[in-house]
Chains A and B, each alone.
Chain A
Amino acid sequence: GAGVSQSPRYKVAKRGQDVALRCDPISGHVSLFWYQQALGQGPEFLTYFQNEAQLDKSGLPSDRFFAERPEGSVSTLKIQRTQQEDSAVYLCASSSRLGQGIIQPQHFGDGTRLSIL
């Protein structure tokens, strides 16, 4: 497709379960980002990949959160032993190239709404 695709759109899980969220970036985009958006807030940065390399994971809230992009395309955000405070919309964004003086905006998917019961 032409845009960033995320699946599932909605995920309901019981507290303590593991979940996996998928992101298909725009074809050819080397940069991929994950954000978490709580209700009434702006998105907050979680982690950043350039191709398959995870260059920044400073926003991951705990070691229960893990992200990977093994082949430099599709990415998966995994949350282990989910807790109620993990309930949020998880957004994925991709960009064609980022570098000094070379900026392309990040394009977002529609997100996965995660609800932990």
Chain B
Amino acid sequence: DQQVKQNSPSLSVQEGRISILNCDYTNSMFDYFLWYKKYPAEGPTFLISISSIKDKNEDGRFTVFLNKSAKHLSLHIVPSQPGDSAVYFCAASSAYSGAGSYQLTFGKGTKLSVIP
């Protein structure tokens, strides 16, 4: 049973427009969420995170939104740039409370293509 789901395997967006990547989770114990970006033959690179006490976190062009009642989070990239083309992974853990495991549970990823 997949606890973190990224239902869109791929997404294409025009340069300058908004990219919205979605992620759903099923484990109500998750309280810390992260987005990673991955280029081929490289490891995942941390982008942005959010804990369950917040519903929004922003860092430059990247904003993550968390809807706890829907068990849904999304990553917004505005404006999208060709260099943003990569695979984006959503990850979750129960690390914030300190009561659960610190391991990350990942989705399968969404491949974003930003078209110049």
Contact = CB atoms under 8 A, between A and B. Distances in A.
Contacts of B32: 103
Contact of B89 (A42, A95, A98): A42
A56 B96 contact: no
Nearest to B49: A105
Interface residues on A, range: 20 to 34
Interface residues on B, range: 20 to 34
B43 A33 contact: no
A105 B43 contact: no
Nearest to B102: A98
Contacts, number: 67
B73 to A, nearest CB: 15
B46 A40 contact: no
A43 interface: yes
Contacts of B43: 4, 6, 91, 93, 108-111
Contact of A45 (B36, B98, B105): B105
Per DSSP, are chain A's interface residues mostly helix, strand or loop, or mixed?
strand
Contact of A44 (B46, B95, B106): B106
Contacts of B103: 33, 45, 48, 56, 59
12 contacts: A33-B103, A40-B108, A41-B108, A42-B107, A44-B106, A48-B102, A56-B101, A98-B95, A100-B96, A107-B46, A108-B43, A109-B43
Interface of A: 4, 6, 31, 33, 35, 40-45, 48, 56, 59, 91, 93, 95, 98-101, 103, 105-111
